[in-house]
Amino acid sequence: MRAKWPTRYLGMNSLSGKPRALFFTAYDSFDAWEKDTQATAKNTAFSAALDRASVADGDLLDSTDAGVWAYREDYSLRPNSDMAHMRYFDIAVFHVKQGHHKDWDDAVKMVLAGYQKSVPDTHWACYEGVYGVPEGTYAFITARKSASEIDQGFAQDKDFMAAMGEDGMKKLDELSAVAIDSSESNLFMFNPKMSYVSDEWVKADPDFWKPKPAAAPAPKKKAEKAAAAQ
């Protein structure tokens, strides 16, 4: 933040699964990522500060891991959310069996068509793992303003199943059984203290992204000694 570095990131903590923190950094391309890395290395003061922070972090971390993911527009549904006012990421990760990408593709397209038809406010962004995760790994990220949206999503499942129909759901179950090796969903809460978001986000919701520090309690006045005449 002191360096006014242009690259921003979003930090969050897990509310399910293993206790952990995630940090998301977005780049328009791999070339943009490379240029950011090179610029960081050339800025000696900035890179030295990052090195010092990494050493301090080492005493607090159980482990670290990094992955690179590519946006899949064809598997995403109405992904443009008002991110400045979001508070959670609902992340579902799927591992596809080798040799079954066609079945997986058919299944995802069935799900997309069903939600487009039945639940107009459903949205998610899909990313495919490129580095750091097994081949055939996909993450579907749903940004949520509040936990009440989770309740709403469960209530809307019946609308999706009705749109798919009995035969459609049977076909989807068959494709999923053939294509998906494993899947897991977890919920994460945004942490503004661990994030370095854009100025636009801060201006849109300053109370969340840059809350004012709590006022210090007023110092207690020393008890005045009173002289009483006997």
Domain boundaries, the chain: 10-65+192-201, 68-189
pLDDT at residue 58, rounded to an integer = 77
Rounded to 5, what percent of the chain is helix, strand, coil? 40, 25, 35
Report which residue type is found at 191. Answer: N
* Residue written as token pair 């590519």: 70
**pTM for this structure?**
0.87
Residue 140: both structure tokens together? 């579907």
pLDDT in tens, the chain (230 residues): 888 899 999 999 999 999 999 999 999 999 999 999 999 989 888 888 888 888 877 778 888 899 999 999 999 999 988 999 999 999 999 999 999 999 999 999 999 999 998 888 899 999 999 999 999 999 999 999 999 999 998 888 999 999 999 999 999 999 999 999 999 999 999 999 999 999 999 999 999 999 776 666 666 655 444 444 44
| Residues with Cβ within 8 Å of residue 79, at least 6 apart in sequence | 123, 124, 125
* CA–CA dist 68, 148 (Å, integer): 31
Q: Looking at residue 222, what is its pLDDT? A: 54
**CATH 3.30.70.100 assigned to 68-189:** yes
Tell how strand 21-24 and strand 10-14 pair up.
antiparallel
pLDDT at 214: 65
- Cα angle 54, 42, 201 (rounded to 5 degrees) comes to 65
Characterize the bridge pairing of strands 124-131 and 68-77.
antiparallel
